[in-house]
Structure 1
Amino acid sequence: MPSVFLQGRPVDSCPPLAPEARRGTVRRITEVGEEVLHKPCRDVTEFGPDLAALIDDMFLTMYIADGAGLAANQVGVGLRLFVYDCPDDDGVRHVGHVVNPVLEALDAGDRRLVDAGEGCLSVPGAVMDVPRPDRAVVRGVDKDGEPLVIEGTGYFARCLAHETDHVGGQVYLDRLSRRDRKEALRQVADRRDEVFARRAANIQALSARSDAEAR
């Protein structure tokens, strides 16, 4: 079994940060309650350098925030697009982006629901159990408009479902009971400052590394 899949295809290796991140700029991550997170995103219809630059920025922003996936509306852009760098339960790493993603409806026999802890970069500091299928298939296209099919199991399936929810205007809190949602928001209030301090430290470390490489 290959240890890395890039855009759904096996590859020999991939650097710790996807190459796109080296070209990117860190963007502000939107937080739950902001309108752009709570309404369906628009299909991407223009493919070109602007889209490629957005994907670069999203990769770097995701890494700075220690995330496994990031949707465009999480950086304030209401387009159907997400990036990911996420392991599955077998330790296989999956890296890539999906434009105009659609989550396939799978037969009950092809999947089982698993309750497991889930977080979100737009709900900083909260982790709650959310039932998700243990298998996911997402169809879409890449930044050049070429068709893509990405399949995932375990934690990576959770990531694909979570990010596809985002482009539909849903955050994982929408899948919780009122009581659990209240608990998640309490966790945010307790941990938000700590999360933002860690992100700021990551930006400083990246800047120092870039300065050292430039010398």
Structure 2
Amino acid sequence: MNERKFLFVTCVNNDILYSSCLKYIRNLIVPSGYQVELFPIHGIQSIFEGYNLALKNDAKYKVYLHQDTYIVNQNFLQDILTIFQSNPSLGLLGLAGCKNLPSNGIWWQGTGLVGKVIGLPNGIRTLQNFGEVHGLFEPVQAVDGFLMATQYDIPWRSDLFKGYHFYDISQSREFTRRRYLVGVANQRKPWCFHYHLHHNQTFNLSDYRAVQKIFIQHYSS
């Protein structure tokens, strides 16, 4: 395990969005003595399978992010490093999530929402502030998948799930099952802009419901 390496993992099906994502990654300040590596994944049918490919890499710190997530906080790497090193029990860190996950697995319908991100609802650039975080991070039950950073490797449940839904919530549960903390980072200003322009064009409700049913059967007990 290379404890001085960050790996950025992204499933890519739109090179234009990903090229913009890379511009922000390459603009980040890299802590002294650390290195950054990119891990784009093309041509996969399931985000679970794609993200599992990254586990073969020796980087201790892995950042799983959407191709349309742009990190605007130039000190992002040092910030997550500080948070992880402050608490070895913290396994997974996100930027939005909930303290109490409802049985349906939809985090934003839970209670104790925290975090923030710059979003684009209805085509309008908007600050989405779900709730303030106190301390370096706030322990939660689940985080949103637009950006997920880890300091430990746990397999993504490709044995249970296919496609692109509930990967973030199921992975949050996998970390807590192993007695790791899941947290949302304290952001004085939003660290990311989530473009999210094509979501409504690609969202398939029947696929979502099918994966949700598996999630509920496996985790909501």
TM-score by length of 1: 0.28
Higher percent of residues as strand:
2
Higher percent of residues as helix:
1
Higher normalized contact order (CA 8 Å, seq sep 6+, divided by chain length): 2
TM-score by length of 2: 0.28
